Amino acid sequence: MAQKLVVLSGYPRSGKSTVTKFMQEELGFARLSIDDLRYNMYGMSFPEMVAYFGGGDFQSPEYQREEELLRDVLQIQKMAHLMANKSVVLDGTFGYNQWRWELLCPSYGRLHHDSDIARYLIMVDVDRKELERRALTSARDPSLLRKWDEFWEEPDFIYPGEGTPKLVRVRNNNTDDFSRSQDVLRALRST
């Protein structure tokens, strides 16, 4: 399998972690999760950290400063795995194109074989009603989805050409969607 770098992006509760765990367990990717990192560094979940640093607002400068630190640490971990010739999948909401781009393109030095790494942005798409249902069943406030809507950016940085990130969309509304997504991901492994 050629070395790959995958950034998985999607709304909260879209099933990103389910997809990245599949990629880790079934396809052999090193999985790096910003939620796991947040908990390991701060001992807090996303809502706890937003409440503590941002006063409940995840777009506050105070919270964004901490989130930037998390992305920097994620970058370093990503580079360590890539330098060890592992394929890597990054698990996080990553709602801004700038964040996605920074994670897909190494900014902490260049790897000697950097151009040989296939890069993918995988967007996990889920119908809005299903996202709201999942938010309710996980004791999260579905109105928070509107907050994400305020800053969410659809990918617009994918350009044709050698070595540029490729956009892949998978659906994850139900088990049939997830099964089809697994087929797409298995095909990605062999490319």
CA-based end-to-end distance of the chain: 8
Quote the tokens at residue 160. 């044709």
Give residue-wise pLDDT tens across range 38-69.
Answer: 999 999 988 888 888 888 777 888 888 998 99
Tokens of 153: 């950016």
Q: In terms of C-beta density within 10 A (0-12 exposed, 13-18 middle, 19 or more buried), how is residue 33 classed?
A: buried
Q: What is the pTM of this model?
A: 0.87
User: Which one has a higher pLDDT value, 98 or 162?
Assistant: 98
> Considering only 79-93, 115-129, 159-173, which range has the smallest mean pLDDT?
159-173
* Contact present, 41 and 18 (Cβ < 8 Å): no
Task: List, for residues 88-116, the tens digit of each pLDDT value.
Answer: 999 998 988 888 888 887 544 454 455 67
Collapsing DSSP states into helix, strand and coil, what is residue 28? Answer: coil
Decide: helix, strand or coil at residue 51.
helix
Pairwise CA distance, residues 122 & 159, whole Å: 15
pLDDT of residue 112: 44
pLDDT at 158 (0 to 100): 57
| Torsion sign over Cα 108, 14, 121, 91 | positive
> What stretches of 36-150 adopt beta strand conformation (E)?
88-91, 118-125
Q: What is the chain's percent helix, strand, coil content, to nearest 5? A: 50, 15, 35
Per the CB < 8 A criterion, the answer to whether 179 and 118 are in contact is no
Higher pLDDT, 85 or 190: 85
Q: Tokens 């996990």 identify what position? A: 124
The CATH architecture assigned to 4-189 reads: 3-Layer(aba) Sandwich (3.40)
Three-class SS state of 86: coil
